[in-house]
């Protein structure tokens, strides 16, 4: 029992990356014929996979010392987690936006937000990026 707990505590970062990669694959496969959405999921995943190791070194001070596949920068777990979590989030967005219909009278209320007038920075970029294919 102690060895199982030690395994999970040492490799939790890798296992969580694999968990979200499984969900990434589910969303990617579920948009089988919609290559526009699949391409956007790949682009978002790639951008966040590149950005995650740099953001983590700037913002995160680990109290926990997980075992990494290799100890050079960037860690494989950082790349995997950034790729998988961003793609999973993008896939969830496209899945939810495909399955929820907003009445016409309510779309006028949200359209300025979707065009990026009342948001800034990353939210503005992402709202323009995501609303172009829904």
Q: For residue range 74-93, list pLDDT tens digits in order.
A: 888 888 999 999 999 999 88
Q: What is the pTM of this model?
A: 0.67
What phi, psi does 100 have (nearest 5°)? -115, 130
113, pLDDT greater than 70: no
Nearest one of 20, 10, 4 to 81, comparing CA atoms: 20
Non-local (6+) Cβ contacts of 12 within 8 A are 66
- What ranges do the domains of the chain cover? 2-100, 103-134
* Alpha-carbon span 134 to 94, nearest angstrom: 7
Calculate the dihedral angle through the C-alpha atoms of 34, 17, 50, 64, rounding to the nearest 10 degrees: 160
Where is pLDDT greater, at 57 or 75?
Answer: 75
Please, what is the average pLDDT of the chain?
75
State the pLDDT at residue 62. Answer: 63
Whether 108 has a pLDDT exceeding 60, the answer reads no
pLDDT tens sequence across 5-44: 888 877 888 888 999 999 999 999 988 888 888 999 999 9
Give pLDDT, residue 133: 44
Count other C-beta atoms under 10 Å from residue 112's C-beta: 11
Residue 15 has a CB neighbour count (10 Å cut-off) of 14
């Amino acid at each position: 029992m102690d060895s199982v707990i030690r395994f999970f505590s040492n490799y939790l970062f890798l296992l969580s990356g694999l968990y979200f990669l499984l969900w990434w694959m589910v969303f990617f496969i579920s948009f089988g014929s919609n290559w526009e959405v699949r391409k956007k999921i790949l682009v978002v995943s790639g951008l966040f996979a590149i950005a995650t190791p740099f953001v983590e070194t700037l913002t995160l001070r680990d109290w926990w010392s997980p075992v990494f596949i290799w100890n050079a920068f960037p860690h494989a777990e950082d790349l995997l987690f950034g790729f998988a979590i961003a793609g999973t989030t993008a896939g969830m967005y496209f899945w939810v936006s495909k399955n929820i219909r907003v009445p016409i009278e309510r779309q006028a209320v949200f359209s300025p937000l979707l065009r990026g007038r009342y948001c800034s920075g990353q939210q503005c970029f992402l709202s323009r990026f995501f609303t172009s294919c829904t």
